[in-house]
């Protein structure tokens, strides 16, 4: 099931029974026991009018006036927030054998051309958002394509589903096929139109979306920076320092810039609402600049491994005080379910001799991302007052995994094993503002 069930409307007051896990602060790096974690086993989570209003132990009866749904023995997490993903790239996920620049030219650009068509854009947006919801992601920061219609259709589809979504028409006016290039004046008009239509409407926000430095002229970067300056409530999203050939190309194209990141700094694109994907090949000055501007790195481990881009230095970003969130980066990434990104992030750190705890990983995919986006009051937690964007997960779906989890000696061991073994088949329900937007076929409450 992918849309709200009209035969079974959401009750105004609803109590969900399950194990509740969320975060009240950022967990310390490497700490398997953390006061930042809020673990409330077998509780009622209380929802009213699409918001979370509280929680209480399930040993007490659910409060008067609440309808109940009993998911005891299951886990409720805040809905995942994917801070970097490309909606049209479901069409090229799992493409064989190339690094970033070749992958863009061979697979991605040809696929994105189809999104000039209204019907392709419309169906693509619906398919993409339903796929996110069926994998535990309730909010995302999304690249559609250069075509205005692709952004229009994505926003409209997110609005239908009540989702908190950040997106914008992709800006690219050079170094790409003609059919994917805009021009500065036309792109500015499209952005202004889209901002007027969608920015701040319900739970939607606009992101000035520079594909990456090589596909925008200096004039286009300046226009994008001017849009950000004119309205500080806008987000900005782009890619930075992902691949070594890409970094060399940017050096050639922008010889006056100190670094790849400095190209964006010079254009006025770095601020507290900037989301920069990858950031593998940054130096210390870059990281200090990210912190100064309040910009975040969206770490995409699945993509970084699949495209052979490199190993992101998460501890260095952290030590510099730069915010880090997590993302699937489909179609460079190979799984839209953020659980896959959590375990790939662990492996990337393991290759660098580091350990990523389940707490740091889960925090980055929920409350950490929300805080970095300035949305900590609304998404990423099960705190009273937050919007009820949440997912109900099975701890296990088959006896071997249940056996393994049963042997865990601590909560961290159990959570880490779950994060490593679970996938989208474990998802029972996704709720957006309290409304069920995905229900696993055949699943029932107790
Ligand atoms: N850099 C510029 N465009 C893209 C894209 O679509 N995916 C990834 N991973 N990197 C990019
Ligand atoms: Zn990307």
Alpha carbons 14 and 11: distance in angstroms, whole number: 6
Is the CB of residue 242 below 6 angstroms from any atom belonging to ligand 1? yes
Domain shared by 398 and 426, yes or no: yes
Residue 329 CA: nearest ligand 1 atom is 9
Question: Would you say residue 8 has pLDDT above 80?
Answer: no
In this structure, is residue 302 part of a structural domain?
no
Domain shared by 44 and 126, yes or no: no
Residue 86 CA: nearest ligand 1 atom is 6
CATH, residue 104 = 3.20.20.140
* Probe residue for ligand 1, chosen from 181, 277, 303 as the CB with the greatest number of ligand atoms within 8 Å: 277
Domain that holds residue 57: 1-79+340-369+377-446
In this structure, is residue 365 part of a structural domain?
yes
Domain shared by 264 and 408, yes or no: no
Domain shared by 173 and 197, yes or no: yes
* Contact (Cβ atoms closer than 8 angstroms) between residue 2 and residue 58: no
Query: pLDDT, tens digit, for every residue of 213-244?
Result: 999 999 999 999 999 999 999 999 999 999 99
Alpha carbons 124 and 162: distance in angstroms, whole number: 18
Is the CB of residue 86 below 6 angstroms from any atom belonging to ligand 1? yes
- Residue located nearest, by CA, to atom 11 of ligand 1: 239
CATH, residue 344 = 2.30.40.10
In this structure, is residue 326 part of a structural domain?
no
The count of domains in the chain is: 2
- Which residue from 328, 332, 342, 336 is spatially nearest to 306, judged by alpha carbons? 332
In this structure, is residue 227 part of a structural domain?
yes
Is the CB of residue 211 below 6 angstroms from any atom belonging to ligand 1? yes
In this structure, is residue 307 part of a structural domain?
no
Average pLDDT, the chain: 97
Domain shared by 128 and 90, yes or no: yes
Burial of 190 (0-12, 13-18, 19+ CB in 10 A): buried
Question: Would you say residue 302 has pLDDT above 90?
Answer: yes
Is the CB of residue 246 below 6 angstroms from any atom belonging to ligand 1? no
Close Cβ partners of 64 (under 8 Å, ≥ 6 residues apart): none
SS3 166: strand
Question: Would you say residue 4 has pLDDT above 80?
Answer: no
For position 1, what pLDDT does the model report?
Answer: 45
Domain shared by 193 and 248, yes or no: yes
In this structure, is residue 327 part of a structural domain?
no
Domain shared by 164 and 54, yes or no: no
* Probe residue for ligand 1, chosen from 82, 84, 210, 212 as the CB with the greatest number of ligand atoms within 8 Å: 212
Query: pLDDT, tens digit, for every residue of 321-354?
Result: 999 999 999 999 999 999 999 999 999 999 999 9
In this structure, is residue 439 part of a structural domain?
yes
* Probe residue for ligand 1, chosen from 84, 181, 242 as the CB with the greatest number of ligand atoms within 8 Å: 242
Portion of the chain with pLDDT greater than 70, in percent: 98
Which band of pLDDT confidence, cut at 50, 70 and 90, is reported for residue 10?
confident
For position 192, what pLDDT does the model report?
Answer: 98
For position 2, what pLDDT does the model report?
Answer: 47
Portion of the chain with pLDDT greater than 90, in percent: 96
For position 9, what pLDDT does the model report?
Answer: 80
Is the CB of residue 303 below 6 angstroms from any atom belonging to ligand 1? yes
- For residues 140-159, give the mean pLDDT: 98
Is the CB of residue 273 below 6 angstroms from any atom belonging to ligand 1? no
Residue 108 CA: nearest ligand 1 atom is 6
- Residue located nearest, by CA, to atom 9 of ligand 1: 332
Domain shared by 406 and 283, yes or no: no
Query: pLDDT, tens digit, for every residue of 371-412?
Result: 999 999 999 999 999 999 999 999 999 999 999 999 999 999
In this structure, is residue 301 part of a structural domain?
no
Q: Maximum distance among all alpha carbons in the chain?
A: 67
Question: Would you say residue 157 has pLDDT above 80?
Answer: yes
User: From the CA of 141, how far away is ligand 1's center (Å)?
Assistant: 14
Domain shared by 233 and 160, yes or no: yes
Domain shared by 66 and 192, yes or no: no
Which band of pLDDT confidence, cut at 50, 70 and 90, is reported for residue 301?
very high
Query: pLDDT, tens digit, for every residue of 30-87?
Result: 999 999 999 999 999 999 999 999 999 999 999 999 999 999 999 999 999 999 999 9
Question: Would you say residue 163 has pLDDT above 60?
Answer: yes
Domain shared by 72 and 114, yes or no: no
Q: How many CB atoms lie within 10 A of CB 383?
A: 17
Which band of pLDDT confidence, cut at 50, 70 and 90, is reported for residue 7?
low
Domain shared by 90 and 72, yes or no: no
């Amino acid at each position: 099931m992918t849309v709200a069930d009209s035969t079974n409307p959401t009750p105004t007051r609803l109590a969900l029974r399950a194990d509740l896990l969320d975060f009240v602060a950022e967990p310390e790096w490497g700490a398997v026991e953390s006061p930042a974690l809020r673990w409330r086993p077998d509780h009622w989570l209380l929802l009213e009018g699409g918001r979370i209003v509280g929680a209480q132990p399930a040993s007490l009866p659910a409060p008067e006036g609440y309808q109940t749904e009993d998911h005891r023995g299951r886990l409720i997490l805040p809905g995942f927030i994917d801070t970097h993903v490309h909606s049209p790239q479901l069409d090229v996920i799992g493409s064989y054998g190339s690094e970033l620049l070749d992958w863009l030219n061979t697979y991605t650009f040809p696929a994105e051309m189809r999104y000039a068509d209204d019907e392709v854009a419309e169906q693509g947006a619906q398919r993409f958002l339903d796929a996110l919801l069926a994998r535990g992601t309730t909010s995302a920061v999304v690249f559609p394509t250069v075509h205005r219609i692709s952004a229009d259709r994505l926003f409209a589809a997110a609005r239908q589903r009540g989702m908190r979504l950040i997106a914008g028409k992709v800006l690219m006016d050079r170094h790409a096929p003609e059919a994917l290039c805009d021009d500065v004046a036309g792109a500015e008009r499209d952005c202004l139109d889209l901002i007027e239509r969608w920015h701040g409407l319900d739970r939607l926000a606009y992101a000035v979306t520079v594909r990456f430095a090589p596909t925008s002229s200096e004039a286009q970067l300046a226009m994008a920076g001017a849009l950000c300056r004119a309205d500080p409530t806008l987000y900005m999203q782009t890619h930075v320092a992902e691949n070594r050939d890409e970094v060399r190309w940017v050096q050639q194209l922008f010889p006056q810039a100190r670094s790849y990141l400095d190209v964006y700094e010079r254009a006025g694109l770095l601020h507290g609402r900037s989301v920069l994907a990858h950031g593998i090949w940054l130096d210390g000055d870059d990281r200090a600049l990210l912190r100064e501007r309040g910009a975040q790195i969206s770490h995409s481990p699945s993509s970084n491994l699949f495209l052979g881009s490199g190993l992101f230095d998460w501890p260095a970003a952290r030590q510099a005080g730069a915010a880090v969130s997590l993302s699937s980066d489909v179609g460079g990434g190979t799984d839209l379910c953020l659980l896959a990104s959590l375990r790939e992030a662990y492996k990337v750190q393991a290759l660098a001799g580091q350990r990523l705890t389940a707490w740091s990983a889960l925090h980055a995919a929920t409350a950490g991302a929300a805080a970095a986006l300035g949305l900590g009051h609304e998404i990423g937690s099960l705190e009273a007052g937050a919007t009820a964007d949440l997912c109900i997960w099975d701890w296990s779906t088959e006896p071997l995994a249940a056996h393994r989890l049963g042997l865990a000696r601590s909560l961290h061991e159990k959570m880490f094993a779950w994060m490593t073994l679970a996938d989208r088949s474990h998802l029972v329900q996704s709720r957006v503002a309290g409304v069920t937007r995905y229900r696993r076929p055949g699943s029932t409450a107790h």
